[in-house]
């Protein structure tokens, strides 16, 4: 191929890559063309050709910058947000409240924090999912604005009367966990009062190191198998579906019919043998019961909400 044809072919290739949106590849080809042109001493229109290519490269650089700096999570139209809620709610639950919670969480996962927060705040009125809604509100603040915002929100809840003390304590424990993982300390008042707080502080500290991962890096756990060391199922492993997960805390809704199963599982109970089933793998570890709450109202009235924190894997 003679040199002119070579230049022409290289430029044509660059132009096609540019039209395909392959910025890096187009850039490399234009640079290659510049090299070829510079290697020829007596090329006609050499300067104008080089100038034209330089302009093309400049334009590519601008496009690249726009792509790099483009928002990763822009606010979408309501229609698009509705679609996300509709398409990314995977629960086959007929429970409207649970579905609404999943929809709001889906919005948050796609970075639609404003609407997610609005919907989650609305769900605080529902007793059965209040704690999960609150946890996700805190997560939204942490992801979209700041830790301070999450702390302020907790203080507001603490000074209000929306939450039952045990519910707010669960939320507090959750927030404290996240803050600790980020190396932060906040003096979050406990809703359980000083006596309960003191009693809590003398509880044995979990002797297993907290996982090093950041809160967002926990695997999705779909179910867990607990091997009971007492009660009617002593020595046997019973599998429970995970209804919600916030970082390393898993929430299970357990039917009132299975009350005997979880009779011995009170807040603070250590679970030494737990199998965690995640889509990526099954792994063994330990957990601790953070809270056990009986649902007072709604379709799951009488059932139990058990929060378990993973303490080692």
Report DSSP letters for 246-299, one per residue: ETTEEEEEE-GGGHHHHTT--TT-EEEEEEEE-SS-EEEEEEEEEEEEE--SST
Q: Taking a C-beta distance cutoff of 8 angstroms, is the pair 261, 313 a contact?
A: no
CA separation, residue 224 to residues 83, 215, 250 (Å) = 31, 19, 9
83 binds another protein (CB under 8 A): yes
Pairing, β 223-227 against β 237-241: antiparallel
Pick the closer one to another protein by CB: 1 or 194. Answer: 1
Which one of 2, 39, 48, 66 is in contact with another protein (CB under 8 A)? 66
Q: Cβ 270 to another protein, closest distance in Å?
A: 28
Give me 183's structure tokens.
Answer: 């190396």
Which one of 40, 52, 59, 80 is in contact with another protein (CB under 8 A)? 80
By CB under 8 A, the residues from 108 to 167 that bind another protein are: 109-110
Which one of 87, 194, 195, 202 is in contact with another protein (CB under 8 A)? 87
Pick the closer one to another protein by CB: 89 or 291. Answer: 89
Q: Which stretch binds another protein (CB under 8 A): 62-70, 143-151, 265-273, 298-306?
A: 62-70
Distance CA(203)–CA(187), nearest Å, equals 19
67 binds another protein (CB under 8 A): yes
Pick the closer one to another protein by CB: 11 or 128. Answer: 11
By CB under 8 A, the residues from 272 to 291 that bind another protein are: 278-280
- 182 to 221: interface string for another protein, x by CB under 8 A: -------------------------------------xx-
Pick the closer one to another protein by CB: 70 or 183. Answer: 70
Dihedral angle over CA of 103, 108, 109, 110, nearest 10: 100
Q: Cβ 138 to another protein, closest distance in Å?
A: 20
Number of residues in contact with another protein, rule: CB under 8 A? 32
4 binds another protein (CB under 8 A): no
Query: Could you give phi then psi for residue 88, rounded to 5 degrees?
Result: -115, 25
Count Cβ atoms within 10 A of the Cβ of residue 63 and give its class: 0-12 exposed, 13-18 middle, 19 or more buried: middle
99 binds another protein (CB under 8 A): no
Which one of 21, 231, 232, 299 is in contact with another protein (CB under 8 A)? 21
20 binds another protein (CB under 8 A): yes
Place of tokens 């009488």: 302
Distance CA(102)–CA(224), nearest Å, equals 20
Count Cβ atoms within 10 A of the Cβ of residue 295 and give its class: 0-12 exposed, 13-18 middle, 19 or more buried: middle
Count Cβ atoms within 10 A of the Cβ of residue 134 and give its class: 0-12 exposed, 13-18 middle, 19 or more buried: buried
Residues interacting with another protein, by CB under 8 A? 9, 12-13, 16-17, 20-22, 25, 28, 63, 66-67, 70-72, 74, 76, 80, 83-84, 87-88, 90, 92, 109-110, 219-220, 278-280
């Amino acid at each position: 191929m003679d040199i002119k044809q070579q230049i022409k072919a290289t430029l044509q290739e660059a132009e096609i890559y540019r039209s395909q949106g392959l910025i890096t590849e187009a850039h490399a080809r234009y640079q290659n063309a510049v090299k070829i042109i510079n290697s020829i001493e007596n090329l006609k229109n050499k300067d104008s050709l080089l100038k034209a290519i330089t302009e093309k490269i400049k334009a590519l650089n601008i496009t690249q910058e726009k792509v790099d700096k483009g928002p990763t999570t822009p606010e979408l139209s309501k229609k698009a947000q509705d679609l996300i809620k509709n398409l990314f709610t995977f629960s086959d639950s007929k429970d409207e409240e649970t579905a609404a919670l999943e929809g709001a969480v889906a919005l948050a996962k796609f970075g639609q924090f404003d609407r997610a927060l609005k919907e989650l705040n609305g769900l605080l009125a529902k007793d059965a999912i209040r704690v999960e809604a609150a946890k996700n509100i805190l997560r939204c603040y942490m992801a979209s604005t700041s830790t301070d915002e999450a702390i302020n929100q907790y203080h507001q809840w603490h000074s209000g009367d929306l939450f039952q003390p045990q519910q707010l304590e669960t939320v507090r424990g959750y927030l404290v966990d996240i803050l600790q993982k980020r190396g932060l300390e906040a003096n979050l008042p406990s809703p359980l009062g000083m006596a309960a707080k003191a009693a809590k502080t003398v509880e044995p500290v979990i002797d297993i190191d907290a996982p090093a991962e950041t809160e967002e890096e926990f695997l999705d756990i779909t179910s867990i198998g607990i091997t009971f060391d007492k009660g009617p199922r002593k020595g046997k492993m019973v599998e429970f579906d995970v209804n919600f997960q916030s970082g390393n805390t898993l929430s299970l809704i357990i039917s009132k019919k299975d009350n005997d199963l979880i009779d011995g599982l009170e807040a603070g109970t250590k679970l030494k043998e737990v199998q965690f089933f995640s889509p990526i793998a099954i792994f063994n570890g330990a957990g601790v019961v953070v809270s056990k709450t009986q649902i007072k109202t709604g379709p799951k009235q009488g059932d139990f909400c058990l929060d378990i924190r993973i303490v080692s894997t």
